[in-house]
C-alpha cells in the first residue's frame, strides 16, 4: 500500500500536481434530511499550501461532505480533481468553491461549465457571494450577477498568472525586477562614447540601452 502511495505521489509531482481529498466521516445534522450533496473544490499553486488549507477549512465549515483539492497551476488545461468533482455531482447537488478563479481560468470556461451544470440541475456557489440559479429557466435573473463576478474572475486570474510567473522566474534564478543589469563592458562603452562627445540619444541608438540607464552609468562614472 505504501509503495502504491509513493508511486502516485511521484506521478503527481511529475505532472506538476498534488491532489488531496477530504470526506466527512459523519453527516452534519443539517445534512441528515437533505437529499442533495454539497461538494467542495479547492485549488492553489505550488507555493500556496497554506492558502489551500484555508480553502479546505472554509469549505468544511460550509458543510461540504466531500472536498476535492489539488496543487496545480492556473494555466493547466486539465485539472484532475476538478474533473472528478464535476463527475461526482448528480441532480440537485451543488458545487462550492471559495472564488470563481479557483476552478476557472477565463470567462468562456466558466460560462461553459455553469451551463453544463444547469442542464444537469446542479448549482454552483462561491463563498465570495456568487450563486447560479437552481435551474436553467431562471438563468436570466442572474445575468448581471454573473457578469459582475466574471469581471472579478479576470482580475483574480491575471493576479495569479503574475504570481506564477514570478515564482517560475525565482526558481530559474532570473532577475525579478529592479534596475536592469548592464555588463561592465557595456558600461565602459557608454562612458567612452560620452567622452567622445556623443549625445545620450546617440549612445542609446548605438548600444540599445535605455536613456535612464545611460544617465545613471554616466553619473556613477563621474562620481567614481
The tens-digit pLDDT sequence of the chain (224 residues) is 434 333 343 344 334 445 556 665 555 555 555 578 999 999 999 888 999 999 999 999 999 999 999 999 877 888 999 999 999 999 999 999 999 999 998 887 888 888 888 888 898 999 988 877 665 555 554 564 666 677 677 778 888 888 888 887 777 766 555 555 677 888 888 888 888 888 888 888 888 888 888 888 888 877 65
Residue 10: the pLDDT is 39
Closest by CA position to 190, among listed 221, 152, 159, 155: 221
Give residue 143's pLDDT: 61
What does the pLDDT read at residue 2? 35
Nearest CA-CA partner of 65 in 32, 92, 91? 32
Which of these CATH numbers, 3.40.50.720, 2.70.70.10, 3.30.1310.10, 3.40.50.1390, describes 2-170?
Answer: 3.40.50.1390
Which of 121, 102, 111 lies closest to 143 in space, CA to CA? 111
Phi, psi of 21 (to 5 degrees): -145, 130
Q: For position 84, what pLDDT does the model report? A: 95
pLDDT for the residue numbered 177 = 56
10 Å Cβ neighbour count for 3?
A: 7
Whose grid coordinates read 505521489?
A: 9
**Cα separation, 114 vs 78, whole angstroms:** 17
CB of 210 within 8 A of CB of 180? yes
pLDDT (0 to 100) of residue 173:
65
At residue 143's C-alpha, the angle toward residues 103 and 79, to 5°, is: 10
pTM, full prediction: 0.58
Q: Where are the domains of the chain?
A: 2-170, 184-223
Distance CA 30, CA 96 (A): 16
Amino acid at each position: 500500500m505504501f509503495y502504491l502511495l509513493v508511486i502516485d505521489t511521484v506521478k503527481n509531482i511529475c505532472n506538476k500536481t498534488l491532489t488531496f481529498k477530504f470526506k466527512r466521516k459523519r453527516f452534519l445534522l443539517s445534512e441528515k434530511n437533505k437529499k442533495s450533496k454539497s461538494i467542495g473544490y479547492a485549488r492553489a499553486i505550488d507555493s500556496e499550501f497554506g492558502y489551500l488549507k484555508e480553502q479546505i477549512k472554509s469549505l468544511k465549515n460550509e458543510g461540504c461532505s466531500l472536498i476535492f483539492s489539488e496543487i496545480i497551476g492556473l494555466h493547466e488545461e486539465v485539472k484532475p480533481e476538478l474533473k472528478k468533482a464535476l463527475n461526482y455531482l448528480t441532480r440537485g447537488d451543488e458545487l462550492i468553491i471559495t472564488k470563481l478563479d479557483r476552478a476557472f481560468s477565463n470567462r468562456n470556461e466558466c460560462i461553459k461549465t455553469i451551463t453544463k451544470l444547469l442542464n444537469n440541475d446542479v448549482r454552483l456557489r462561491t463563498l465570495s457571494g456568487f450563486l447560479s440559479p437552481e435551474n436553467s429557466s431562471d438563468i436570466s435573473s442572474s445575468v448581471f450577477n454573473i457578469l459582475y463576478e466574471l469581471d472579478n474572475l479576470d482580475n483574480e486570474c491575471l493576479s495569479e498568472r503574475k504570481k506564477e510567473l514570478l515564482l517560475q522566474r525565482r526558481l530559474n534564478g532570473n532577475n525579478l525586477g529592479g534596475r536592469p543589469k548592464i555588463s561592465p563592458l557595456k558600461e565602459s562603452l557608454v562612458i567612452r562614447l560620452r567622452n567622445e562627445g556623443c549625445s545620450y540619444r546617440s549612445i542609446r541608438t548605438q548600444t540599445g540601452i535605455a536613456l535612464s540607464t545611460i544617465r545613471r552609468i554616466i553619473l556613477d562614472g563621474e562620481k567614481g
